[in-house]
């Protein structure tokens, strides 16, 4: 007779407790402890043991281990290949998260169609839609693929049998929160179900060499629902970002065992599905208003790609005792720090001014090289003096007001020259040691005051 054990698990962080508590000690959330009954049968461990070799392996020197470089499988979406690290790795488990309606299912259905047209067997398993509903969405996207198979199922046992019988090259699970195991009594989407189902899918991917994509729902805070262990178990974690009411979407890698974790792919949502944006810098700058104060352009690195983005600032007298500091697309604390540097080192009276800083286009920037552009935007808006439309600002700002060097300056300047910019104001330490493109002037500065003089004084 199988023993039954009951315990309470936090549905936000996965903290386990033998008794119910109103507040989770792990994450501090209230009313997230849920009772789950777990049968301790040991079947899962036995089944997993049979899949392993019966011969005990021995440690090997890393210098004597032979590796085989398997070619990655590429799709027709170059942006998708870039985020994954130049293609899909066989036997990998990829988790894709994003807000509801952002386009996760659309993206994976398009990728599945492209892989099926390359003569790979693809199994698309939907736990949220019927087969006919998936077909309606495929017709809307203009998808025709003979080797793309659709299955509407939520029981992991039947899903595993279907994969063993069909032996596809790729599998899509939409979504992991709808899949359940019969030997776990908790509801689908709970911590235990999500964790155990993901572990079983990982075993299937590794033992059979099948690349599996799973869709994960997100919480109201923007993180993938369920415990953080879900992100630790998979090979790659991708976040699909963007506003539902805007057409542009950003696919960002936050974890990747087979590539860079800073890559982004930019797509545009159209009637026939997602289309990749080849030159995102033009998209982010196409609506820039010339001659407006508080606007600057920065060359930011997203992985291996330089992207030119407009940073806007609005400084206005406050009507309250404490001035407001709001930031969209950049860290709020970074804006406060730069305003303190401008007030202390430059002498600007900003303590009675409201400050609003925004990155145009819905992009999120978090590298230090954007400091100088933010500072110049704030000064430009405060003095109501516009910067030159052909200037680009690059540099990290220290607490003493110095402008520090940044990495990959040559790629940033080349991207600015490609789009017709004439001047780049950058750290003086980055000027020497490389050849700048023709038609662009480099201005090296040592501190913020010099940068302000060049930006607003000509």
Edge-to-edge strand order for the sheet containing 423-427?
391-393, 423-427, 441-445
Residue where the block lists tokens 């969209």: 328
List the structure tokens of 84: 């994954």
**pLDDT at position 199 over 60:** yes
Average model confidence (pLDDT) across the chain? 87
Q: What's the count of helices (H) and strands (E) in the chain, helices before strands?
A: 12, 21
DSSP-derived secondary structure letter, 351: T
Q: How far apart are the first and last CA of the chain?
A: 84
306: β partners: 301
Distance between CA atoms of 265 and 252, rounded to whole angstroms?
A: 7
- In angstroms, the CA 220 to CA 36 distance is 23
Structure tokens that stand for 324 in this block: 């407001």
Nearest alpha-carbon partner for 109 in 149, 166, 159, 160:
149
What is the radius of gyration, based on Cα positions, of the chain? Answer: 26
Place of tokens 């998979």: 234
The tens digit of pLDDT for each residue in 13-70 reads: 778 888 899 998 888 888 888 887 765 554 444 343 344 444 567 898 988 888 777 7
Q: Is 214 helix (H, G, I), strand (E, B) or coil?
A: strand
Q: What's this model's pTM, rounded to 2 decimal places?
A: 0.76
Report whether CATH 3.20.20.70 matches the domain 283-457. Answer: no
Euclidean distance between CA atoms 318 and 103, whole angstroms: 40
Q: What is the pLDDT of residues 263-302, one digit of tens each?
A: 888 898 888 899 998 888 888 888 888 889 999 999 999 8
Q: How far apart are CA 130 and CA 10, in angstroms?
A: 31
User: What is the percent of the chain with per-residue pLDDT over 70, rounded to a whole number?
Assistant: 92
**How high is the pLDDT of residue 375?**
97
Q: Does domain 72-278 have CATH number 3.40.50.300?
A: yes
pLDDT tens across 72-93, in order? 999 999 999 999 988 999 999 9
Phi-psi region of 20 (alpha: psi -120 to 50; beta: other; left: phi over 0): beta
**pLDDT digit string (tens) for 219-263?**
655 555 555 668 888 999 998 887 666 788 889 898 999 888 778
Annotated binding site: 98-105
Contact present, 407 and 301 (Cβ < 8 Å): yes
301's tokens: 């690195």
Which residues, in sequence order, are CB contacts of 202 under 8 Å at separation 6+? 93, 233, 234
Task: Read off the pLDDT of residues 231-241 as tens digits, 9 standing for 90 and up.
Answer: 888 999 998 88
Q: What is the mean pLDDT of residues 140-167?
A: 94
Tokens of 346: 């430059």
Q: Which residues are annotated as a binding site for ATP?
A: 98-105
Cβ atoms of 254 and 218 closer than 8 Å? no
């Amino acid at each position: 007779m199988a023993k039954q054990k009951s315990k309470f698990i936090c549905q936000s962080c996965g903290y386990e407790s033998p008794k119910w508590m109103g507040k989770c000690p792990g994450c501090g959330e209230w009313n997230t402890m849920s009772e789950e009954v777990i049968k301790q049968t040991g079947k899962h461990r036995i089944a997993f043991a049979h899949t392993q070799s019966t011969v005990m392996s021995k440690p090997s020197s890393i210098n004597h281990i032979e590796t085989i470089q398997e070619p990655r499988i590429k799709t027709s979406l170059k942006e998708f290949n870039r985020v994954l690290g130049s293609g899909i790795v066989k036997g990998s488990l990829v988790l894709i998260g994003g807000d509801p309606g952002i386009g996760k299912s659309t993206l994976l259905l398009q990728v599945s169609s492209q892989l099926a047209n390359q003569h790979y067997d693809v199994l698309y398993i939907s736990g949220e839609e019927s087969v006919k509903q998936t077909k309606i969405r495929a017709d809307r996207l203009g998808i025709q693929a003979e080797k793309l198979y659709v299955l509407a199922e939520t029981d992991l046992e039947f899903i595993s049998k279907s994969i063993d019988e069909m032996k596809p090259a790729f599998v899509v699970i939409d979504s992991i929160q709808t899949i359940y195991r019969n030997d776990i009594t908790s509801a689908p989407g709970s911590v235990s179900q999500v964790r155990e189902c993901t572990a079983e899918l990982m075993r299937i991917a590794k033992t059979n060499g099948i690349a599996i994509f799973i869709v994960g729902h997100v919480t109201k805070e923007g993180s993938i629902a369920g415990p953080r262990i879900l992100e630790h178990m998979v090979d790659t974690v991708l976040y699909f970002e963007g506003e539902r009411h805007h057409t542009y979407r950003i696919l960002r890698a936050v974890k990747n065992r087979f590539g860079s974790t800073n890559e982004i792919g930019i797509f545009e949502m159209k009637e026939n599905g997602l289309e990749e944006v080849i030159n995102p810098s033009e998209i982010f700058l196409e609506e820039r208003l010339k001659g407006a104060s508080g606007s600057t352009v920065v060359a930011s690195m997203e992985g291996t790609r330089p992207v030119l983005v407009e940073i806007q600032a609005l400084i206005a007298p406050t009507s309250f005792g404490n001035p407001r500091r709001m930031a969209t697309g950049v860290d709020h604390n970074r804006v406060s720090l730069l305003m303190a540097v401008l007030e202390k080192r430059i002498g600007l009276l900003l303590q009675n001014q409201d400050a609003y800083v925004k990155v145009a286009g819905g992009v999120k920037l978090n590298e230090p090289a954007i400091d100088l552009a933010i500072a110049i935007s704030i000064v430009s808006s405060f003095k109501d003096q516009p910067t030159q439309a052909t200037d680009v600002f690059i540099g990290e700002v220290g607490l003493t007001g110095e402008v520090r060097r940044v990495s990959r300056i040559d790629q940033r300047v080349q991207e600015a020259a490609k789009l017709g910019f004439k001047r780049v104001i950058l750290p003086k330490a980055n000027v020497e040691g490389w050849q700048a493109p023709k038609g662009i002037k480099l201005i090296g500065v040592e501190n913020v005051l010099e940068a302000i003089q060049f930006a607003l004084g000509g």
